[in-house]
Amino acid sequence: MSKRDRLERQALEIILSKGEEGILQSDLWKELEASSRVGSRISLNLGKKNLITRQRELYDGRWTYRVFINIRSLDIDSITDVPCVSCAEILKCESGGEFSPDTCKIMTEWLHTFTHTEMEKENASVISKKNAPQSI
């Protein structure tokens, strides 16, 4: 996995963990330990892939962006198949370790599938609402 892919995946995990509150871009860069230049590129790439939404916000007198994951309706059923739940290495798994979410191919594949599935659900919901009969 390239460094950029790894940072994008970490960014998605962080943004996902912030739920509906989202996270300020500057705080995301700090958590990623990335420069604002690298962080902005990651943010733009994730936005182009329609995985996140950037919302302009005035914070401490300066304009910045708050970013949100483009998954609106997570429920517990949607994450019960996370591979870590049944992984034999879970007790040894830590960032930077022999087993790590940063390098785990199973986790990466699950995250991609999960993200795409949730996006498809979201898109189906939007289409369904658009096609719903209008009440008078």
Residues that bind ligand SF4 (CB under 6 A): 83-84, 87, 89-90, 93, 99, 101, 104, 106-107
Decide the pairing of beta strands 23-24 and 62-69.
Answer: antiparallel
Shortest distance, CB of residue 107 to ligand SF4, whole angstroms? Answer: 4
Angle at 61 between CA 41 and CA 37, to 5 degrees: 15
For ligand SF4, the closer of residues 109 and 120 by Cβ is 109
Q: Order of strands, edge to edge, in the sheet holding 52-59?
A: 23-24, 62-69, 52-59
For ligand SF4, the closer of residues 86 and 128 by Cβ is 86
For ligand SF4, the closer of residues 16 and 67 by Cβ is 16
For ligand SF4, the closer of residues 91 and 132 by Cβ is 91
Shortest distance, CB of residue 52 to ligand SF4, whole angstroms? Answer: 22
Shortest distance, CB of residue 47 to ligand SF4, whole angstroms? Answer: 26
Is the separation of the CB atoms in 43 and 25 below 8 Å? yes
Adjacent-strand bridge partners of 59: 62
Nearest Cα to Cα of residue 19 among 80, 66, 60: 66
